[in-house]
């Protein structure tokens, strides 16, 4: 495991959509309780086999269970040591950005910094009206909500007014981000250039789901994101922070992998009963075969997208039983990822940034200085009238009554 984690350039992990799907081979459909329990087992096993990241989707309708990702991720963080917990994706459209700011700052604290977040707009139409939003406004809502989220994590006291949420006057999102450093943000998109633009504008990461569409789509989006990242002055195009999805099924003998995975593929949500598995593996990064085939395919990703920072695999959907998923993780962590780390580290230019972690964001923000530890003053309501309710911010003269008013600023 230690050998696995010595290269900070890239993170490898798994992501799940949290579907509860009948196993087409056994006919068994897990209960919500069983599937939730299994998912936590899968996340813990991801750490055991040397993976770095576990990312969880968000849904608000059956047959999915993950309506409250930070609750689940906190439980996983509590049962792991090293695993970074993230999302895939958190709905920036229908969640209140204030609640996202609070929930993920909390998750940062309880996970000791092993938290980041991936934002997306979601693909289930009725979620918008269920949460009182208009899907036709999806993109403007996403842009405005993120602008507010970004501000809430960076400014102690926020005055804000927008179109899609009630205004804020003198609002402080608590707790402040761990060490004063907001969680790293990935923006996920499968087709929208404005989202790539948004990621570039803020200097955030861009994640291409890479599962459902041919590589050329994501190549255009990532090329755009890299070009705009440089345009907004965050570095060279090659220094932009890119993550990719992927999907694999492996056995020692590649024909065994094909035979075993086929019923799951043929009946899978989304692409089941559509293209043949052979066509789909050719059109998308889905790779079904030996671990060597997976290594060859994914070592080639940087030829398509440039050097990148995060690779996530979808391993547990379409009704695959727990036992098979754990075996797949054993192969992924034991045979595939150690080789991919070596391959993708080769000839990587020194100025390509490492994968984002809380530690390297703290270092980037503070250098060798001590990071901020936000400590509130006694609350006299002065978060409404002065710069900050925290002790490390000087109070403006005349902002308080009594002893504080006579203190030199």
Partner 1 sequence: MSTRRIAVISAGLSNPSSTRMLADRLLAATARELAERDIEITADVFELRDYAHDITNNLLTGFAPSALETMINTVVSADALIVVTPIFSTSYSGLFKSFIDVLDPDALRGKPVLIGANAGTARHSLAIDYAIRPLFAYLHADAVSTGVFAASADWGGSGDQVATLSSRVDKGARELAEAIARRSPVVDADPFDPANYLGEGRSFGHLLGGLAGE
Give the interface with partner 1 as residue ranges (CB under 8 A): 140, 143-144, 147, 162, 193-194, 197-198, 200-201, 212-214, 216-217, 220-221, 223-224, 228, 231-232, 270-271, 273-275, 279-280, 283
The minimum distance between CB 158 and partner 1, in angstroms, equals 12
The minimum distance between CB 98 and partner 1, in angstroms, equals 16
The minimum distance between CB 197 and partner 1, in angstroms, equals 6
Q: Which CB atom, from 273 or from 323, has the smaller least distance to partner 1?
A: 273
Q: Which CB atom, from 213 or from 366, has the smaller least distance to partner 1?
A: 213
Q: Which CB atom, from 7 or from 213, has the smaller least distance to partner 1?
A: 213
The minimum distance between CB 203 and partner 1, in angstroms, equals 12
Widest distance between CA atoms in the chain? 80
The minimum distance between CB 271 and partner 1, in angstroms, equals 5
Q: Which CB atom, from 199 or from 325, has the smaller least distance to partner 1?
A: 199
The minimum distance between CB 192 and partner 1, in angstroms, equals 9
Q: Which CB atom, from 131 or from 212, has the smaller least distance to partner 1?
A: 212
The minimum distance between CB 364 and partner 1, in angstroms, equals 22
Q: Which CB atom, from 157 or from 362, has the smaller least distance to partner 1?
A: 157
The minimum distance between CB 18 and partner 1, in angstroms, equals 19
Q: Which CB atom, from 144 or from 316, has the smaller least distance to partner 1?
A: 144
Beginning with the edge strand found earlier in the chain, give each strand of the sheet holding 242-244 in spatial order: 84-87, 53-56, 11-16, 310-314, 242-244, 205-208, 184-188, 116-120, 90-91
Q: Which CB atom, from 201 or from 366, has the smaller least distance to partner 1?
A: 201
What are the beta bridge partners of residue 16? 56
Secondary structure of the chain as H, E, C letters: CCCCCCCCCCEEEEEECCECCCCCCCCCCCCHHHHHHHHHHHHHHHHHCCCCEEEECCCCCCCECCCCHHHHHHHHHHCCCCCEEEECCEECCCCCHHHHHHHHHHHHHHCCCCEEEEEECCCCCCHHHHCCCCHHHHHHHHHHHHHHHHHHHHCCCEEECCCCCCCEEEECCCCCCHHHCCCEEEEECCCCHHHHHHHHHHCCEEEECCCCCCHHHHHHHHHHHHHHHHHCCCCCHHHCCEEECCEEEECCCHHHHHHHHHHHHHCCCCCCCCCCHHHHHHHCCCEEECHHHHHHHHHCHHHHHCCCCEEEEECCCCCCCHHHHHHHHHHHHHHHHHHHHHHHHCCCCCCCCCCCCHHHHHHHHHCCCCCCCCCECCCCCCCCCCCCCECCCCCCCCCCCCHHHHCCC
The minimum distance between CB 287 and partner 1, in angstroms, equals 17
Q: Which CB atom, from 91 or from 196, has the smaller least distance to partner 1?
A: 196
What are the beta bridge partners of residue 289? 250
């Amino acid at each position: 495991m230690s050998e696995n984690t010595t290269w900070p350039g890239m993170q490898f992990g798994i992501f799940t959509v949290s579907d509860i799907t009948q196993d087409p081979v056994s006919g068994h459909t897990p209960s919500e309780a069983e599937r939730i329990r299994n998912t936590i087992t899968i996340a813990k096993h991801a750490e055991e086999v040397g993976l770095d990241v576990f990312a969880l989707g968000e849904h608000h309708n059956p047959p999915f269970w993950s309506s409250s990702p930070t609750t689940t991720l906190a439980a996983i963080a509590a049962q792991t040591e090293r695993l970074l917990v993230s999302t895939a994706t958190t709905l920036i459209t229908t969640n209140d950005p204030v609640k996202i700011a609070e929930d993920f700052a909390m998750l940062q604290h309880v996970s000791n910094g092993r938290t980041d977040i991936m934002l997306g707009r979601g693909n289930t139409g009725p979620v918008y009206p269920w949460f009182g939003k208009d899907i036709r406004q999806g993109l403007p809502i996403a842009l405005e909500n993120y602008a507010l989220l970004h501000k809430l994590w960076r400014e102690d006291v926020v005055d804000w007014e927008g179109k899609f949420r009630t205004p804020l006057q003198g609002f402080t999102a608590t707790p402040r981000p761990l060490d004063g450093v907001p969680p790293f943000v990935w923006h996920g998109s499968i087709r929208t250039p404005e989202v790539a633009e948004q990621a570039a504008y803020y200097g955030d990461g861009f994640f291409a789901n890479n599962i459902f569409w041919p590589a050329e789509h994501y190549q255009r989006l990532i090329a755009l994101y890299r070009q705009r990242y440089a345009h907004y002055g965050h570095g060279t195009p090659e220094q932009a922070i890119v993550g990719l999805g992927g999907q694999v099924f492996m056995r020692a003998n590649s024909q065994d992998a094909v035979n075993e995975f086929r019923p799951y593929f043929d009946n899978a949500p989304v692409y089941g009963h559509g293209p043949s598995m052979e066509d789909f593996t050719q059109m998308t990064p889905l790779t079904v075969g030996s671990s060597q085939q997976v290594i060859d395919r994914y070592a080639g990703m940087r030829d398509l997208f440039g050097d990148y920072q995060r690779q996530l695999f979808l391993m547990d959907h379409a009704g695959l039983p727990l036992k098979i998923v754990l075996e797949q993780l054993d192969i992924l962590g034991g045979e595939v990822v150690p080789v991919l780390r070596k391959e993708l580290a080769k000839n990587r230019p020194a100025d390509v940034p490492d994968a984002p972690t809380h530690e390297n964001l703290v270092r980037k923000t503070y250098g060798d200085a001590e990071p901020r530890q936000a400590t509130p003053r006694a609350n006299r309501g002065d978060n409404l009238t002065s710069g900050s309710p925290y002790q490390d911010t000087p109070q403006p003269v005349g902002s308080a009554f009594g002893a504080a008013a006579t203190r030199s600023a």
